[in-house]
């Protein structure tokens, strides 16, 4: 082989290696779910999803949640719990640690204050006789006010920040949540005698699944392969979508596995332990 050809292959190899390392970059996302009065909300399913990746975490008793490894990219983040309104927004996860605190529910006083504020804004102010505006100017001013209001509301919702390990260590609850997430990863990889099982078997899941109407309208069929982390008490703590035909199916699987089914925990030496199970859920039109 000529030296030039050898060098060309070396450069191509280095380029492919660089590309693979970039594609393998991941970031962390963590935070806390609170109501408008800053009370923690437990058992909320938070999931991140885009066209190629989806996973979910469930907030603990103090409202904290942690995603230790999410491929970098743009995601839709949703948070839900039965009886509460769905929360949704877009985030850009980079190769760093992103903190995202979620306000999932507003108290009645907060809603009343917002309504009063909106009514105040809607009340027209008397115009001075010497400072009358042309219709075009009035419309422009109203449009500018609406734009500013929308920007203010968007800024209010976008409570995100990049944090360091030192920042995490200062928040005891957040630090414990990260350590618990690391323990889940370790337990998922550990060998056990029996894997977690859905109580009632797959029939239970099939009864709870609601076929997404948008998928039905498009005639979509397929399935979802999910890895579910289950603690020693049989509670799901994390769901990772290994493969899915469509993100609509992934979201429905998140809902059912986190809220509608119970698990028999894994066992080791006759004792219940935390571990993970892989579950296949099929979506098929009749």
- Domain co-membership, 209 together with 249: yes
6, pLDDT greater than 60: no
Between residues 97 and 147, the one the model is more confident about: 97
Give the pLDDT of residue 281.
96
Residue 152 within any structural domain of the chain? no
Q: What is the DSSP string of the chain?
A: --HHHHHHHHHHHHHHHHHHHHHT-EEEEEEEEEETT--B--S-EEEEE-SS-EEEEE--TTSEEEEEEEESEEEEEEEE-TTS--EEEEEEE-SSEEEE-EEEE--HHHHHHHHHHHHHHHSPPPPPGGGPPPHHHHHHHHHHHHHHHHHHHHHHH--EEE--HHHHHH-HHHHHHHHHHHHHHHHHHS--SB--EETT-HHHHHHH----HHHHHHT--EEEEEEEEE-TTS-EEEEEEEEES-HHHHHHHHHIIIII--EEPEEETTEEE-EEEEEEEEE---
- Domain co-membership, 174 together with 241: no
Range of the domain at 268: 190-286
- Domain co-membership, 42 together with 168: yes
- Residues 92-134 have pLDDT tens digits of 999 899 999 999 865 454 455 556 666 666 555 555 554 444 4
pTM passes above 0.75: no
Residue 92 within any structural domain of the chain? yes
How many structural domains compose the chain? 2
Residue 2 within any structural domain of the chain? no
């Amino acid at each position: 082989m000529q030296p030039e050809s050898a060098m060309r292959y070396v450069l191509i190899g280095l380029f492919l290696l660089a590309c693979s390392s970039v594609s393998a970059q991941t970031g962390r996302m963590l935070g806390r779910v609170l109501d408008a009065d800053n009370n923690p909300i437990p058992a909320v399913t938070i999931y991140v999803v885009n066209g190629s990746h989806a996973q979910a975490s469930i907030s603990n008793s103090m409202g904290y949640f942690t995603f230790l490894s999410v491929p970098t990219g743009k995601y839709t983040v949703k948070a839900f719990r039965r009886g509460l309104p769905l929360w949704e927004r877009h985030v850009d996860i980079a190769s760093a640690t992103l903190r995202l605190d979620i306000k999932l529910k507003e108290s009645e006083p907060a809603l009343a204050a917002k309504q009063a504020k909106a009514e105040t804004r809607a009340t027209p102010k008397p115009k001075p006789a010497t400072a009358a505006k042309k219709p075009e100017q009035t419309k422009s001013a109203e449009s500018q006010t609406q734009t500013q209001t929308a920007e203010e509301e968007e800024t209010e919702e976008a409570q995100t920040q990049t944090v360091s390990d030192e920042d995490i260590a200062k928040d005891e609850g957040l630090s414990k949540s990260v350590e618990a997430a690391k323990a889940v990863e370790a337990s998922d990889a550990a060998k056990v005698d029996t894997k977690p099982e859905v109580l009632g078997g797959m029939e239970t899941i099939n009864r709870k699944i609601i076929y997404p109407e948008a998928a039905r309208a498009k005639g979509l069929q397929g399935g979802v392969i999910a890895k579910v982390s289950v603690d020693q008490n049989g509670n799901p703590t994390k769901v990772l979508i290994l493969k899915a035909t469509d993100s609509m199916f992934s979201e429905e699987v998140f809902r059912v596995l986190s809220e509608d089914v119970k698990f028999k925990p894994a066992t080791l030496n006759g004792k219940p332990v935390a571990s993970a199970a892989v579950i296949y859920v099929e979506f098929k039109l009749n």
